[in-house]
Amino acid sequence: MIIGNGFLAKAFKKKFSKEKKIVIFASGVSNSKEKDKKRFRREIKLLKKFILLEDITLVYFSTCSVSSIIKNSYILHKTKIEKLIRRNFKKYFIFRLPQVIGDTYNLNLFVNYFYYNIKKNIPFELWKNSIRNLIDIRDVLKIVTFFIKEEIRINKTTTIASPYNTKVIWVINVLEKILRNKAIYTKVSSNMAKIRIGKLHYLKFKKKIRINFYKDYYIKILYKYYKNRILRKFHY
């Protein structure tokens, strides 16, 4: 069963839409800058409906930012959701994700925002020394599917990310090459510039999952998904 119709929901639809005992909850708040309490309450209300269902396994997507020292409204909300799941669901998986890259045109998402601004010559702010972690949605699907099918780390919180963090300026440099255009930005300081990635338990199963990460992995996925972007499709 798939809850949601966004980016993550569509990725998992083919494998899990007919699964009645597995609930892929992909209808949560995805904008890390979100402050609207109504949106947060809506997600909690929807999630609580599944507490009453017996014999289901809940799959929830949280964020790697939960482990950050600095907390904003979005991170506090995700932390609250994680606690709610641990207290109320008998069987669950909580997967913390970094910046997931794929076929989505939502401008609230990290790389889409930079791509659009570079393409349109729109000035933007860049956090000094900012670092992020990028992963292909297809690799997320592979890892999550493996954990669910094998029931590995059930009732635990698991981080899924690339073993290699990436400087945001490197991402911008790659986008500049793809677009053949220079970014216009101002460097600013921020407490949210860096992220913490927890232990990557999936690495000991990487041969079974048939997954491979390397230092320039981020370049491969940026070219894969941004080489032929259609500008008019971008939206908030």
Per-residue pLDDT of the chain (236 residues; tens, 9 = 90+): 999 988 899 999 989 988 989 999 998 788 888 888 899 999 999 999 999 888 999 999 999 988 776 778 999 999 999 999 999 999 999 999 999 999 999 999 999 999 999 999 999 999 998 999 999 999 999 999 999 999 999 999 999 999 999 999 999 999 999 999 999 999 998 777 677 788 999 999 999 999 999 999 999 999 999 999 999 999 98
Distance between first and last Cα of the chain: 26
Could you count the other beta carbons within 10 Å of the beta carbon of residue 48? 11
Orientation of helix 110-119 relative to helix 168-179, angle to 10°: 40
DSSP 8-state secondary structure symbol assigned to residue 153: T
Check if the beta carbon of residue 76 is closer than 8 Å to that of residue 85: no
Check if the beta carbon of residue 24 is closer than 8 Å to that of residue 95: no
| CA trace torsion 130, 136, 137, 141 (10° rounding) | -120
Give start and end residues of each alpha helix (H) in 68-216.
73-88, 110-119, 137-150, 168-179, 206-209
Locate 114 and state its tokens: 């930079």
The residue ranges of every structural domain in the chain are 2-233
Instruction: Could you please state the CATH topology (level 3) that the domain comprising 2-233 is classified under.
Output: Rossmann fold (3.40.50)
